[in-house]
A and B are shown apart, each in its own frame.
Chain A
């Protein structure tokens, strides 16, 4: 099915470990985003990529890096995981940043850092 695919769905890390969350979309969208969702805080933007070859910081970028590998793929890396990064991570994509079509979200990665 067309949409946004995130891997893995679940992950447990030890403090200090690194990992990369993968995201791919097959809708030929230009823009892609990484959000984290925490109880009582809604969704907060970590990084976004307005188009292939560009990335920009969002609201909460500290502790994360991203790579827009090509138009389809946008990965999120945690270099040294901390318990404060325990969250649900969502990747999303859209045709453009300011569009009526809104965002298409992946199903999320549930990350626990112990």
Chain B
């Protein structure tokens, strides 16, 4: 079955880079996503990467995909206090029913 795993917590100092990691199991995933959830709010799509790509950069965000190891990472450069949130990794699972599978989320704490 499908599974997406993430570490629960990451703490960084303001101005440093943050790297949030994720592993997934479905090798047939077509899209992998990163979502951000701020306190009391819903999830907001940050970025996605198509499975035939190795890297995608979008301003301060860099997504790296290692298909061989089924590992996805999100790097946030120059982390700001406004980046404090929970970050969810997600993949499209093409199983018996089509759905997006979410990890449990990594809580990023940015220390001023």
Residue numbers of A with Cβ under 8 A of B are 4, 33, 40-43, 45, 48, 50, 56-59, 90, 92, 97-108
Contact = CB atoms under 8 A, between A and B. Distances in A.
Majority DSSP secondary structure for residues of A touching B:
loop
A108 B31 contact: no
Nearest to B47: A102
Contacts of B43: 43, 90, 92, 103, 105
A62 to B, nearest CB: 16
Contact of A102 (B45, B50, B99): B45
Interface residues of B, number: 25
Nearest to A91: B42
A102 B30 contact: no
A105 B50 CA distance: 21
Contact of B42 (A59, A99, A100, A106): A106
Interface of B: 4, 30-31, 33, 35, 40-45, 48, 50, 88, 90, 92, 94, 97-100, 102-105
A100 B31 contact: yes
Given A97-B99, A102-B31, 13 more contacts: A4-B42, A58-B99, A90-B42, A90-B43, A98-B94, A99-B31, A100-B50, A102-B33, A102-B45, A103-B45, A105-B42, A106-B42, A107-B42
A19 B42 CA distance: 21
Which residue, A4, A42, A100, A108, has most C-beta atoms of chain B within 10 A? A42
A92 B90 CA distance: 14
B97 to A, nearest CB: 6
B97 A56 contact: yes
A43 B44 contact: no
